[in-house]
Amino acid sequence: MASLGFAVLDRQVIDGHGTALALHTDEVQLSYADLLEKVAAIAGALLQLGVASGDEVALDLSTRHHHVIAVLACVRLGAVPGTSGPVRFVSEADGTYVHTADGSFDWRTMIKAGAMNPAPALDEDPDGYAETTRAAFDDILSTLHAGRTVT
């Protein structure tokens, strides 16, 4: 069985829905292909920061599209999006950052760093991961899995 990360994005693109609108907010409109590209880049940057399957990643994001992308990047890696963890996504007055023990990284830098080595979706999720994550982020995951637009 394919991982949740694969099912909600990669499968949509593979099935020919890459140009369909996946994410629509006041700030951004992204197709499934564009969303997949950004999610894989952020996930790739998280891998470079040492995030692995099962790790918790804190999300404190007020920008909807950054929140959606961060959740999906965690799902792509099998990481647990939550409220605590050594890696934290944070919205600040001057932008979105990822904070770690080694420093702070601007969202745009994360996209650029990860774009050079985007992360593939897991082949399979850890036991119980998909159910737990769907329960926490059903508004995002079920919408995309059904091929609809997250708002």
What is the percent of the chain with per-residue pLDDT over 90, rounded to a whole number? Answer: 99
> How do the domains of the chain map onto residue ranges?
4-145
Q: Which two tokens stand for residue 79?
A: 């990481």
Average confidence (pLDDT) over 64-76: 98
Q: What integer pLDDT is reported at residue 1 of this predicted model?
A: 67
Topology of the domain comprising 4-145: Rossmann fold (3.40.50)
120-146 exposure pattern, b = at least 16 Cβ within 10 A, e = fewer: ebbeebeeebbeebbeebeebbebbbe
Q: pTM of the full predicted structure?
A: 0.97
